[in-house]
A and B are shown apart, each in its own frame.
Chain A
Amino acid sequence: MRIYATYNIKGGVGKTTTAVNLAYLAAASGLRAALWDLDPQGAASFMFRVKPKVKGGGRALISGRRPLDDAIKGTDFDNLDLIPADFTYRNMDLLLDAGDAKPGAVPGGKPARTLGRLLAPLAPDYDVVFLDCPPSVSLVSENVLHAADVIVVPLIPTTLSVRTLEQLSDFVDEFKGHRPEILAFFSMVDRRKKLHREITEKLATERYEVAQTTIPALSVIETMSVERAPVPVFAPNSAAAKAYRALWAEIRSRTN
């Protein structure tokens, strides 16, 4: 089972749309896929028309009282399941730090690796799992970075976003043992803007961890929340659908 996380410290950069579209494309290619909507806002759950509610809330999942397996919902698409968001996820930092992450666990011990342990039992059933993270630097995001094999980082083409990527790389480099691969890509790219063109071309050439594929700023992507479905479902021939297919192909070829 390979775990992909869409992560960025900043909000509104396209993490959820990326997670939803990539998870759909993975499932459509025949892989058994699951997406865990870790964002208490529940945008990914909304797009799959699943109620953002988990029985017992985040506490039941984090404490191990309720296995992750129990919370899984089938989406409308073959091979693709969802672990929905829950409003109690807003307190997930506290839950992870409370030390009751697992029965018998030492209080405060290894709280940064709890999500990875919770995901491990899903390995026989899924080929890929996507984690859609809330925008923050927190114990939740640290958990996600430890659990993931690949961190997919959507970047808005600004100078500041490059700094964000560097900070993330430095942080991951300090991990002992398992370190996730980082693959960033430019999202919401407006080719009419000179700055966007310059930054995307420069960084894709200079930095190995930046993907060649970019996702353009297109209104069809914004309509995902109206259609409540991945782009390839309601606009399979759109430029956006093609861009996401290319991105998934590049991620797979570069990180496998």
Chain B
Amino acid sequence: MTPSLAGFIADSGDPQTWDDVVSGVLTSLGTEFEVVPERSAARCGERRTTWLDTFDWRLHKAGLTLEYFPGQRGGSELRLSGTGAGGTGKDTAQPVTGWQAARPHLLGDLGDGPVGARIGGLIAPRALIPVVSTSTVTRAYRLLNSDGKTVARLLLSRPALVTGLKAPLPPRVEVAEVRGYQGQARRAARLIAAVPGIRPAGKSLFADALSAVGRRPGDYSNKVDAHITADMPAAEAAATILLRLLDTVDANVPGVLSDTDTEFLHDLRVSVRRTRSAIKLFGDSLTGLTAGEVAFFAAEFKWVGDLTTPTRDLDVHLLDFEETARGLAAAKPDDLEPFRAYLQQRRRKEFRVLARGLRSERFRALSSQWRARLAAIQRDSAEGTRASRARSGRFQKAPGGSAGLLAAERTRVAFARVAKRGAAITQDSPAESLHDLRKRCKELRYALEFFAPLHDQDAYAKVLGDLKRLQDCLGEFQDTEVQIGEIRILAAAMLTAGEVPAVTLLAMGEVTAGLAARQRAARADFERRFAAFADVEGQRRMSALLRGTGVRYRINADIRDV
């Protein structure tokens, strides 16, 4: 659709005004076209639409829009529009049965079809969640040329929110093109534009509906992206970052409790882990919190992290299950089915423990108290700076240092730890030294991410890219070891719980052998990955990055100091 055909909205939803608009539009179009009511029932009448996306807006980010249209007698369908995920710009439709607009659906609920094929890789393992619903009453007209040929269609619609408020949305006037007659459609749009009481619709109906419920596309992200600046007081920046992390924790709790999809728990855990790292990195800069209080909150977040671990570990096994089963060489995939059933049973049990914890007074108190304390620090710190500026009439150095200084100092220390510990690892070093390095890498990664807005983005991307590849290598090394250990424990537990088929134990043995091979490969790759990140060039890249915060350091000297 060309920009001029994006449609119009009425200035007012008032019925009298709308009638005047419709009358004006029909009269104006009548000067150049014969305007006749549309015969096709598909374009007229009332239609309900529910927009769907994952909680983290994966479809929106990929430039896609997914709508669900309920129909009678099994005529419901999903319609995907947009150019992302291999799309050509043309809509993809797929009939669906048993779809309930009000509840989330996992990919498996879609069944086989073109929409599932296009979005499957993009959204899995996330669920499709209803974002907003509208009900629209539409009247359609055909615009005919002198041959009586339909050259465009006029759609007059009155949408209303179904979700929550049931509030009317601005009425819309749209011109739909007929293929090969774009010129006539543009002409019709120009005639409509001159009618009083309407203006070009700046937004789609979806965007209108979202605004009406106080949301915007992409309003959730698990990225830290806190609004901080280099000259902000360190305490205010620290509190801002931690509040952003707490927002993410809180945003994910309902999805975890309703067990909508496994990524809610994953995002919650990442935010908790980031919170713990942030407290460790710059908890001392939270002016107003005593060391004892900082230690208390750190311990409470450790409790939350530990609470979530068993369920997440089982999720990882279950998410990887199909691929693991397909990768078996000697055993048959079906041999592992008792193992899957056992994992699912264990997960149900662990999930109940997790849900109790997240519903507990202890968790609620942690969230509310932490939020209140951080908000107070953020407010006091910002007010302190303003007061200081007001007294002197010019900018003062932030008390307790600036965010830029904090970022440079703490990132430098984190990098130096990684560089020093990594350099000490040899072929003979025990696995624990690599596990320890992985933790230090995570701390550095979080430090970089927390202060990302303060860095030059090109320098940041280079450092982060090398660090990610090193982390992937260390992650593969440790995760495979953890999984091997867990499978051994689970095998023992299955034996204790009752009879377990010998073929299942054999298949589990083959899975652990495969994991061990992957672990060896990761170990062999470590030196190359570490050198790429922390060699002389890597240290120069980090120095360049930190110079962007306004603080000059020589990283190689720091490594000796740490």
With A49-B147, A50-B149, A124-B88 as given contacts, are A74 and B180 in contact (CB-CB < 8 Å)? yes
Residue in B40, B42, B90, B149 with the greatest tally of chain A CB atoms within 10 Å: B149
B73 adjacent to chain A (CB < 8 Å)? no
Partner of A125, one of B90, B148, B149, B181: B90
B20-52: CB near A (< 8 Å → 1, else 0) gives 000000000000000000001010000000000
Q: Scan residues 58-94 of chain A and give those whose CB is less than 8 A from a CB of chain B.
A: 71-74, 76, 78, 81
B150 adjacent to chain A (CB < 8 Å)? yes
Q: Could you tell me the distance between the alpha carbons of A51 and B150 in the complex, rounded to whole angstroms?
A: 12
B412 adjacent to chain A (CB < 8 Å)? no
Enumerate chain A residues within 8 angstroms of B178, measured Cβ to Cβ.
73-74
Residue of B nearest to A48 (CB): B149
User: Would you give the shortest CB distance from B40 to chain A, in whole angstroms?
Assistant: 6
A49 and B149: CB pair below 8 A?
Answer: yes
A228 adjacent to chain B (CB < 8 Å)? yes
B181 and A74: CB pair below 8 A?
Answer: yes
Q: Could you tell me the distance between the alpha carbons of A50 and B178 in the complex, rounded to whole angstroms?
A: 12
B162-189: CB near A (< 8 Å → 1, else 0) gives 0000000000000000111100000000
B142 adjacent to chain A (CB < 8 Å)? yes
Q: Could you tell me the distance between the alpha carbons of A228 and B180 in the complex, rounded to whole angstroms?
A: 19
User: Would you give the shortest CB distance from A223 to chain B, in whole angstroms?
Assistant: 15
Partner of B179, one of A48, A73, A228: A73
User: Would you give the shortest CB distance from A22 to chain B, in whole angstroms?
Assistant: 20
Residue of B nearest to A84 (CB): B180
Q: Scan residues 3-43 of chain A and give those whose CB is less than 8 A from a CB of chain B.
A: none
User: Would you give the shortest CB distance from A215 to chain B, in whole angstroms?
Assistant: 25
A201-220: CB near B (< 8 Å → 1, else 0) gives 00000000000000000000
Enumerate chain A residues within 8 angstroms of B40, measured Cβ to Cβ.
78
Partner of A74, one of B88, B147, B148, B179: B179
Which range holds the interface residue count of chain A? Answer: 10 to 19
Enumerate chain A residues within 8 angstroms of B142, measured Cβ to Cβ.
76
The tally of CB-CB contacts under 8 A between chains A and B is 28
Q: Could you tell me the distance between the alpha carbons of A205 and B111 in the complex, rounded to whole angstroms?
A: 44
Residue of B nearest to A125 (CB): B90
Q: Could you tell me the distance between the alpha carbons of A50 and B180 in the complex, rounded to whole angstroms?
A: 10
Chain B interface residue count, CB cutoff 8 Å, equals: 13
Dominant secondary structure at the A interface: loop
Enumerate chain A residues within 8 angstroms of B147, measured Cβ to Cβ.
49, 51, 228
B137-151: CB near A (< 8 Å → 1, else 0) gives 000001000011110
User: Would you give the shortest CB distance from B86 to chain A, in whole angstroms?
Assistant: 11
Enumerate chain B residues within 8 angstroms of A76, measured Cβ to Cβ.
142, 149-150
Enumerate chain B residues within 8 angstroms of A125, measured Cβ to Cβ.
90
Residue of A nearest to B90 (CB): A125
A73 and B181: CB pair below 8 A?
Answer: yes
User: Would you give the shortest CB distance from B454 to chain A, in whole angstroms?
Assistant: 48
Q: Could you tell me the distance between the alpha carbons of A162 and B180 in the complex, rounded to whole angstroms?
A: 41
Q: Scan residues 163-218 of chain B and give those whose CB is less than 8 A from a CB of chain A.
A: 178-181
B181 and A228: CB pair below 8 A?
Answer: no
Partner of B42, one of A48, A50, A78: A78
Q: Could you tell me the distance between the alpha carbons of A78 and B42 in the complex, rounded to whole angstroms?
A: 9
Q: Could you tell me the distance between the alpha carbons of A72 and B181 in the complex, rounded to whole angstroms?
A: 10
Residue of A nearest to B142 (CB): A76
Q: Could you tell me the distance between the alpha carbons of A51 and B42 in the complex, rounded to whole angstroms?
A: 27
A228 and B90: CB pair below 8 A?
Answer: no
Q: Could you tell me the distance between the alpha carbons of A186 and B93 in the complex, rounded to whole angstroms?
A: 38
Q: Could you tell me the distance between the alpha carbons of A73 and B142 in the complex, rounded to whole angstroms?
A: 16
Enumerate chain B residues within 8 angstroms of A228, measured Cβ to Cβ.
147-148
Q: Could you tell me the distance between the alpha carbons of A73 and B147 in the complex, rounded to whole angstroms?
A: 14
With A49-B148, A78-B40, A78-B42 as given contacts, are A73 and B180 in contact (CB-CB < 8 Å)? yes
B414-446: CB near A (< 8 Å → 1, else 0) gives 000000000000000000000000000000000
Enumerate chain A residues within 8 angstroms of B150, measured Cβ to Cβ.
74, 76
Residue of A nearest to B145 (CB): A49
User: Would you give the shortest CB distance from A111 to chain B, in whole angstroms?
Assistant: 28
Q: Could you tell me the distance between the alpha carbons of A71 and B142 in the complex, rounded to whole angstroms?
A: 22
Q: Could you tell me the distance between the alpha carbons of A229 and B267 in the complex, rounded to whole angstroms?
A: 58
Q: Could you tell me the distance between the alpha carbons of A50 and B90 in the complex, rounded to whole angstroms?
A: 24
Partner of A81, one of B42, B90, B179: B179
Q: Could you tell me the distance between the alpha carbons of A228 and B149 in the complex, rounded to whole angstroms?
A: 10
User: Would you give the shortest CB distance from B80 to chain A, in whole angstroms?
Assistant: 15
B90 and A72: CB pair below 8 A?
Answer: no
User: Would you give the shortest CB distance from A224 to chain B, in whole angstroms?
Assistant: 14
Q: Scan residues 85-128 of chain A and give those whose CB is less than 8 A from a CB of chain B.
A: 124-125
Q: Could you tell me the distance between the alpha carbons of A74 and B219 in the complex, rounded to whole angstroms?
A: 39
Q: Could you tell me the distance between the alpha carbons of A212 and B40 in the complex, rounded to whole angstroms?
A: 32
Q: Could you tell me the distance between the alpha carbons of A125 and B90 in the complex, rounded to whole angstroms?
A: 9
Q: Could you tell me the distance between the alpha carbons of A71 and B180 in the complex, rounded to whole angstroms?
A: 7
A113-157: CB near B (< 8 Å → 1, else 0) gives 000000000001100000000000000000000000000000000
Q: Could you tell me the distance between the alpha carbons of A120 and B232 in the complex, rounded to whole angstroms?
A: 62
Q: Scan residues 59-89 of chain B and give those whose CB is less than 8 A from a CB of chain A.
A: 88
User: Would you give the shortest CB distance from A66 to chain B, in whole angstroms?
Assistant: 13
User: Would you give the shortest CB distance from B556 to chain A, in whole angstroms?
Assistant: 58
Q: Could you tell me the distance between the alpha carbons of A124 and B88 in the complex, rounded to whole angstroms?
A: 10
B179 and A72: CB pair below 8 A?
Answer: yes
Enumerate chain B residues within 8 angstroms of A50, measured Cβ to Cβ.
149
Residue in A51, A72, A73, A74 with the greatest tally of chain B CB atoms within 10 Å: A74
Enumerate chain B residues within 8 angstroms of A124, measured Cβ to Cβ.
88
27 contacts between A and B (CB under 8 A): A48-B149, A49-B147, A49-B148, A49-B149, A50-B149, A51-B147, A71-B180, A72-B179, A72-B180, A73-B178, A73-B179, A73-B180, A73-B181, A74-B150, A74-B178, A74-B179, A74-B180, A74-B181, A76-B142, A76-B150, A78-B40, A78-B42, A81-B179, A124-B88, A125-B90, A228-B147, A228-B148
Given A50-B149, A74-B178, A76-B150, 10 further pairs, Cβ under 8 A: A48-B149, A49-B147, A51-B147, A71-B180, A73-B180, A73-B181, A74-B181, A78-B40, A78-B42, A228-B148
Residues of chain B whose beta carbon lies under 8 Å from any beta carbon of chain A:
40, 42, 88, 90, 142, 147-150, 178-181
- List 4 tightest A-B contacts by C-beta distance, closest first: A73-B180, A74-B179, A49-B149, A74-B178
